[in-house]
Amino acid sequence: MSQSTATPAPVTEAHPVVAAANPRLRWVLLAGGLVAALALPWFVYPPVAMDIVAMALFAIALDILLGYTGLLSFGHAAFWGSSAYVTGLIATNYGVPFPVAIIGGALFAMILALPAGYLSVRRSGIYFAMVTLAFAQMVYFVGYQWSGLTGGENGLQGVPRHFFGVELVETDSFYFYYAALPILLLGMWAAWRIVHSPFGRVLVSIRDNTQRARALGYEVDKYKVVAFVLSAGLTGLAGGVFAINHGFVALTELHWSTSGEVVLMTVLGGIGTLWGGVLGATLAVLLADYLASSGFDGIDLVTGSVFVLVVLLFRRGLWGTVRHQWLAWQQRRSSRRTRSGGGTRR
Amino acid sequence: MTTNGRVALRTQALTKVFRGFRAVDSVDLVVREGGVHALVGPNGAGKTTLFNLLTGFVAPTSGAIRVFDEDVTGKQPEQVARRGVARSFQITSLFETLTSREHVELALQGLTRQGFRFWRSEKLLGGNRTRVDDLLTQVGLMTLADKQVGLLAYGQKRALELALVLALDPRVMLLDEPTAGMGTEDVDRTIELVRRIAAGRTVVFVDHNMHVVGSLADRVTVLQQGKILAEGAYDEVRNDERVITAYLGEADHA
Ligand SMILES: Nc1ncnc2c1ncn2[C@@H]1O[C@H](COP(=O)(O)OP(=O)(O)OP(=O)(O)O)[C@@H](O)[C@H]1O
Ligand SMILES: [Mg+2]
């Protein structure tokens, strides 16, 4: 069954040797990313730097669903925004250190994600996206109406930034960046852990072939709900940091356009890669910031055009394309070596 | 084959209607425990649809399905799998981005709750290394274990289908054309493999290759236009006039 059926398989498959990811390269990338994260507020206005990293975690959290489970959520603003509000409210009303408030926000997002996930995973494809969107619109409506709590259209003003009385962090956004960074990095590490866990393997199998996963006994809907809740929790961490960073929560954080933005960032960077989210978020935030500070008011037009261009030119997204080329090159090299009788693969 | 009289699978007046078309029509099928039961019939007879009904992939229009006397009618595929009924697919159905080894690891974990461990490393999945290697060796894929299945040849993918079913260690195995598209040598290896793994299990398989049916089956059911046309031991069925008529025009298969 193995050697005798030697009809060569077409090597036109979309994904060459994903498994052959080079561990050394992975560490180099990780170290590079860490250095970049630590250096960022030296080169970029610190609140913007914080936005970049928060958005990066947002995109990574979305990618757990979009890239690894094959579910396009168009309602993640509900988790981002509701965590931002809850974080802001906890910080305002209880005067706790901001990490505690953020954890509260993230937990709230997870609780909210439970019914949302339960209802939406029964559908797939565009219908899944529609259910998540409808759910997020409901949350938006509540945020809008319940102005006694959320401030309605005025947003939640004056969110304090308590941090164990460390004044530098509480008042200087440069130092705040370093105090909040570990929360986001922890969130990113969690996403990496999830994706590379036994659970993550099941998610990929669901993405690749749901029917087969079910035939193997996997209760696919339950896995999707858990993925949904985990994704919402990480989104909540990011949204909470965002709220504290700005000292203010706007209603836009719950708006469907926020759900759309994070999808764009993730796709721009490349889905199913984690790093793609980081790259996409970085570029999108930097571009928007650059355009805003140069007084240009057609930001959406420009970012939208960039997005369309990138997706047309590189359908795997920026990071996805680079990665694909790299792996394809490695594969060509290794097969050339095997053919010439040289060293064995890996 | 050991037949202690228990019924592994039973359908009662099982029917599936697709928009007025009766793909499976009042089928009463009885598969005894420990038997190797072949399901044959011309293209479009409803064999795959019957498998889909038995494994919950398609909901019956009417009728009932029992597995070891438990009613599983209307159960979902994963619930059926969890009752010890595993199937392979006629059209190879794999996870394109994963390797053979990763497939088998996934399959071994399928019936446990271990797949929910999102806080652990996926290396844990490889913990059952000897079992994984054993399964891959059995189907002859050991040397290709770390190759993405998207890059495997057709026959190799068929072999992996079998390994996945085996990994579930099922009481009842439903194999939909396990030898389809294989060369003679591979067909013989598959026959040997199925014979080996059939010990202590119940097997139902579909195959158009009468050599395969003749070598493996202790009982044959012939399906035609959704209905059972004939049933019996291979030699009985083979000489049944109605069966010969049904297969007319498909003489090359006989
Ligand atoms: N989901 C579906 N919707 C509509 N018709 C279907 C569906 N599935 C199967 N059919 C029809 O039911 C009939 C039986 O198909 P089935 O695949 O069960 O046949 P089969 O016996 O497995 O044939 P083969 O030997 O070609 O695999 C066919 O006419 C097919 O077109
Ligand atoms: Mg069929």
Chain A partners of B182 at a C-beta cutoff of 8 Å?
1, 5
Q: Which two tokens stand for residue B245?
A: 């008529």
Q: Compare A207 and A25 and report the one with higher pLDDT.
A: A207
Q: Is residue A301 pLDDT above 60, yes or no?
A: yes
Q: Is A202 on the interface with B (CB under 8 A)?
A: yes
Digit-coded pLDDT (tens) for A23-54: 788 888 889 999 999 999 999 999 999 999 99
Is A13 within the bounds of a domain? no
What does the alpha-carbon distance between residue B135 and residue B166 come to, in Å, rounded to a whole number?
A: 8
Minimal-distance CA residue of chain A relative to B181 = A5
Task: Identify the bridge partners of residue B18 per DSSP, sorted by sequence position.
Answer: B21
Of ligand 1's atoms, which has the minimum distance to the CA of residue B47? 21
Q: How far is CA B212 from the centre of its chain?
A: 14
Specify whether B125 is located in the same domain as B58.
no
* HEC profile of chain A: CCCCCCCCCCCCCCCCCHHHCCHHHHHHHHHHHHHHHHHHHHHCCHHHHHHHHHHHHHHHHHHHHHCCCCCCCCCCHHHHHHHHHHHHHHHHHHCCCHHHHHHHHHHHHHHHHHHHHHHHCCCCHHHHHHHHHHHHHHHHHHHHHCHHHHCHHHCECCCCCCCCCCHHHHHCHHHHHHHHHHHHHHHHHHHHHHHCCHHHHHHHHHHHCHHHHHHCCCCHHHHHHHHHHHHHHHHHHHHHHHHHHHCCECHHHHCHHHHHHHHHHHHHHCCCCCHHHHHHHHHHHHHHHHHHHCCCCCHHHHHHHHHHHHHHHCCCHHHHHHHHHHHHHHHHHHHHHHHCCCCCCC
Burial string for B212-223 (b: 16+ CB within 10 Å, else e) reads bbebbbbbbbbb
Is A236 within the bounds of a domain? yes
Q: The domain spanning residue A248 has which CATH number? A: 1.10.3470
Mean residue pLDDT of chain A comes to 86
pLDDT of residue A87: 95
Chain B partners of A202 at a C-beta cutoff of 8 Å?
106, 109, 115
Q: The domain spanning residue B175 has which CATH number? A: 3.40.50.300
Burial string for A42-80 (b: 16+ CB within 10 Å, else e) reads eebebbbbbbbbbbbbbbbbbbbbbbbbbbbbbbbbbbb
Q: Is residue A324 pLDDT above 50, yes or no?
A: yes
Chain B partners of A19 at a C-beta cutoff of 8 Å?
98-99, 102, 146, 148
Q: Compare A312 and B29 and report the one with higher pLDDT.
A: B29
Q: Compare B233 and A230 and report the one with higher pLDDT.
A: A230
- Domain of A112, in residue numbers: 43-334
Specify whether B244 is located in the same domain as B184.
yes
Is A282 within the bounds of a domain? yes
Handedness of CA A230, A234, A239, A244 (dihedral sign): positive
Specify whether B129 is located in the same domain as B226.
no
**Nearest CA, atom 26, ligand 1:** B43
User: Distance from B231 to chain A by nearest Cα, in Å?
Assistant: 28
Q: Best residue in B79, B95, B104, B125 to probe A by mutation, most A CBs within 10 Å?
A: B95
Picking from A194, A202, A211, the nearest residue to B106 by CB comes out as: A202
Specify whether B248 is located in the same domain as B125.
no
Picking from A6, A7, A198, the nearest residue to B109 by CB comes out as: A198
pLDDT of residue A206: 94
Of ligand 1's atoms, which has the minimum distance to the CA of residue B177? 27
Give me the mean pLDDT over the B163-167 stretch: 93
What is the separation, in whole angstroms, between the first and last Cα of chain B?
25
Q: Is B93 on the interface with A (CB under 8 A)?
A: yes
pTM of the entire structure?
A: 0.89
Highest mean pLDDT of the ranges A296-300, B125-129, B198-202:
B198-202
pLDDT of residue A346: 39
Specify whether B15 is located in the same domain as B121.
no
Task: Identify the bridge partners of residue B219 per DSSP, sorted by sequence position.
Answer: B37
Q: Is residue B234 pLDDT above 90, yes or no?
A: no
pLDDT of residue A338: 66
Q: How far is CA A160 from CA A20, A83, A165, A247, in A?
A: 47, 15, 12, 6
CB contact under 8 A, A5 and B153: yes
Picking from A16, A194, A216, the nearest residue to B110 by CB comes out as: A216
Least confident of A217-221, A294-298, B43-47, B224-228: A294-298
Q: Is A344 on the interface with B (CB under 8 A)?
A: no
Is B2 within the bounds of a domain? no
Specify whether B21 is located in the same domain as B129.
no
Q: Is residue B236 pLDDT above 60, yes or no?
A: yes
**Among residues B153, B185, B202, which one ends one of the domains?**
B153
Mean residue pLDDT of chain B comes to 88
Q: Is B133 helix (H, G, I), strand (E, B) or coil?
A: helix
pLDDT of residue A312: 83
Is A239 within the bounds of a domain? yes
Is A210 within the bounds of a domain? yes
**Nearest CA, atom 16, ligand 1:** B46
| Backbone Cα Rg of chain B | 18
- Domain of B97, in residue numbers: 93-153
Digit-coded pLDDT (tens) for A70-79: 999 999 999 9
A274 and A192 Cβ atoms separated by less than 8 Å: yes
Q: Which of B15, B39, B48, B55 to mutate to test the pocket of ligand 1 (most atoms within 8 A of CB)?
A: B48
**Among residues B113, B128, B153, which one ends one of the domains?**
B153
Angle at alpha carbon of residue A125, lines to A276 and A120, rounded to 5°: 100
Q: Is residue B140 pLDDT above 90, yes or no?
A: no
Specify whether B145 is located in the same domain as B184.
no
What confidence category does residue A21 fall into, taking pLDDT thresholds of 50, 70 and 90? low
Is A24 within the bounds of a domain? no
pLDDT of residue B54: 95
Is A277 within the bounds of a domain? yes
Ligand 2 centroid – CA B89 distance (Å): 9
Q: Is residue B196 pLDDT above 70, yes or no?
A: yes
Please count the other Cβ atoms lying within 10 Å of the Cβ belonging to residue A305: 11
Of ligand 1's atoms, which has the minimum distance to the CA of residue B52? 18
**Among residues B109, B124, B153, which one ends one of the domains?**
B153
Who's near A25: CB < 8 A, 6+ residues apart? none
Is B15 within the bounds of a domain? yes
For the CA atoms of A235, A241, A246, A251, what is the dihedral angle to 10 degrees? 30
Is B39 within the bounds of a domain? yes
Picking from B93, B125, B146, the nearest residue to A201 by CB comes out as: B125
What does the alpha-carbon distance between residue A130 and residue B253 come to, in Å, rounded to a whole number?
A: 49
Digit-coded pLDDT (tens) for A125-151: 889 999 999 999 999 999 888 988 888
A218 and A153 Cβ atoms separated by less than 8 Å: no
Number of domains in chain B: 2
Number of domains in chain A: 1
Please count the other Cβ atoms lying within 10 Å of the Cβ belonging to residue A334: 17
Specify whether B17 is located in the same domain as B60.
yes
Q: Is B164 on the interface with A (CB under 8 A)?
A: yes
Is B69 within the bounds of a domain? yes
